[in-house]
Chains A and B, each alone.
Chain A
Amino acid sequence: MPSIAAFMTDKHKACDTEFARAEDYALSADWDKAGPAFETFHHDMAQHFRMEEDQLFPTLLAAGGPGGPVQIMLMEHEQMNDLLGQMKTALDGHDAQRYGGLSETLLIVMQQHNLKEEQILYPIADRILASESAAVLGRMQQV
């Protein structure tokens, strides 16, 4: 069984690849391919957020994990959701320039967010939830 950190870091990497694919298609105005690529990316981001918001974070907080940092992560999810919503509108309107500006912004928010989770929050989760991490991972995979 992988650690929570390893499992979630792999998910981040997969989302990065999907982000780059969707951006590539949108910026070359290949809308037929950009639509499905963005849908996959958006879907996987939403699923990743749900894994954290519905399973990992509540379990971590119940086990005495740090409340402040979790709050910050939730706020950053909100920032990313706002940008993703705007990107969807730009995509529907076939506005490559606007999509590019938004994806540029999302990339930095997303990368900083991932770095903080991978270097700080996930290792904390692995430590605090040591005995139940297999169960948490199982529940996250069900999301």
Chain B
Amino acid sequence: MNIASLSPDQAPPISIPLRFFAVAPLFLIVAALILLAGDAAPFADAHSPALLAATHCITLGFMATVMMGATQQILPVVVGSPVPASRLVAWFTLLPLAAGTLLLTAGFLRSDARLLGLAWPLLATAFAVFIAAALVSLWRARTHNLTWIAILLALLALAGAVTLGTLLDRGYAAGMALDYARLSAMHIGLALGGWVLLLIVGVSYQVVPMFQITPGYPKWLGDLLAPSLFAALLLNLASLSLGEAPLRNAVAESVFWLLAISFAVTTLWLQHHRRRKISDATLSFFRLGMFALMFAAACSFAALALPAAAAPLRMLSIIAFIGGFAMSLIQGMLYKIVPFLVWFHLFRGGSNALRAGIPNMKEVIAERLIWWHLRLHVFTLLAALPAPWWDVAVWPLALGLLLQGMLLAYAMYAGIAVFRRTLARIANLASDSVTNDRPGPP
């Protein structure tokens, strides 16, 4: 951090993160509808059109949208350097990302090469603009703390994941002969194990001690974890690109998962030693996410040990990682970030804001609703457990996802409505006081 990061003006306008957060839940609804309306057995094949479409709706439309919006918000706070041209960057990431995701989804569902061909330039634009802007922010930051390193490595992994994703999409669209299985494995590794996990690791260094008053992450772990995870990913990529060698690939993959487990165990240990003991929905989302990460690791180890059952176990590992780990953390964090941003930006309204009365965080999004969302999320995850083996599980899973998307969208719009209503009240008070200050008629 540097002195400039003490300035509140470094925070982007609230409309920037909120527009990302308002759009993202809609993609959960689309993903659920695809699972409900599509193939009766989307989980029977990892490359079934409905599963590919629904997965990318969640990973691009929901996860990447929230993560990109949140990164633009947190960079000034955690590395002390804002994203340049924030409004422009927001439009040039959100619009092509949303449009590209819809085209990609439709392209997968209809096996339409034209739609797939239109999707990749849009998605590549969105990610290129975002990565470039975030790298400029990191470049300008004066202090290179642990979060800085983790975010830098996450961005590098994202660049790799996007390059491979673009190649795969172009390949599908043009009917090119590619080694799709191997390239997909690398794409998934970089996107989930790199971008998603490294960003969460970097942000956790800051927010885990902050939200629950826990001890900080041990220094040696903080120093080593993100670079080691990145090195393990590179080892996996190298091993995969060298071709079939089950033992070598298994060793490379095991190193990655052992590191991921060490992050989960440490985070749970820190949260267990928190000084703030009250129950908190975000804490529960966070802990659920850490258990899911360990479960994803266990499923991958089981797949390595039982080659005959590897396919469904690997699918379960990815479901646990995306649904259990990433979605738990992202949703839990949204329920802290949005109420705080609303309060923070309203407080800047000065004395009129104080007179109008600023809602506190729990008045922005009702706590009751967040707890209901957590229950719904647990139900959805339990429904997902048998999905790789039992086709009927897709129904409760999709229903849970649909309700989660609707609930989250409602929560986001409710938060925005509270912001707008309070802002209008503050403006009324301000105009009243101007009117009252005017000299009366003689």
Contact = CB atoms under 8 A, between A and B. Distances in A.
A48 interface: no
Interface stretch (B128-136, B258-266, B275-283): B275-283
A120 B360 contact: no
A101 B5 CA distance: 27
A19 B275 CA distance: 9
A20 B5 contact: no
A83 B360 CA distance: 9
B363 interface: yes
Contacts of A89: none
A108 B6 contact: no
A108 B211 CA distance: 7
Contacts of B276: 19-20, 23-24, 107
A132 B144 CA distance: 30
Contact of A120 (B3, B8, B343): B3
Nearest to A75: B8
B347 interface: yes
Contacts of B113: none
B213 interface: yes
A1 B6 CA distance: 28
B354 interface: yes
B361 A20 contact: no
B3 A105 contact: no
B390 to A, nearest CB: 41
Given A105-B340, A120-B5, A24 B278 contact: yes
Contacts of B347: 79
B362 interface: yes
Contact of B2 (A16, A73, A120): A120
B7 interface: yes
Interface string A17-28: 101100110010
B19 interface: no
A105 B343 contact: yes
B210 A101 contact: no
B360 A16 contact: no
A6 B335 CA distance: 33
A105 B360 contact: yes
Interface residues of A, number: 35
B6 A120 contact: yes
Nearest to A121: B6
A20 B209 CA distance: 13
A104 B275 contact: no
B248 interface: no
B277 A24 contact: yes
Interface in A58-94: 66, 68-69, 72-73, 75, 79, 82-83, 86
B1 A120 contact: yes
Interface in A1-44: 16-17, 19-20, 23-24, 27
Determine which residue in A23, A73, A105, A120 has the highest number of CB atoms from chain B within 10 A of its CB, and name it.
A105
A23 to B, nearest CB: 6
Given A98-B360, A101-B361, A104-B360, A116 B5 contact: yes
Contacts of B344: 109
B6 A69 contact: yes
B1 A17 contact: no
A119 interface: yes
Contacts of A27: 278
A20 B275 contact: yes
Most buried by A among B1, B8, B211, B276: B276
**5 tightest A-B contacts by CB?**
A101-B362, A101-B360, A69-B6, A111-B210, A20-B276
13 contacts: A17-B275, A20-B275, A66-B3, A72-B7, A73-B6, A86-B360, A104-B339, A107-B211, A108-B211, A111-B210, A119-B1, A121-B6, A124-B3
Given A20-B277, A111-B209, A119-B143, 20 more contacts: A16-B213, A17-B275, A19-B213, A20-B276, A69-B7, A72-B8, A73-B6, A83-B360, A97-B362, A100-B367, A101-B360, A101-B362, A101-B363, A102-B360, A111-B210, A112-B77, A119-B1, A120-B1, A120-B5, A121-B6
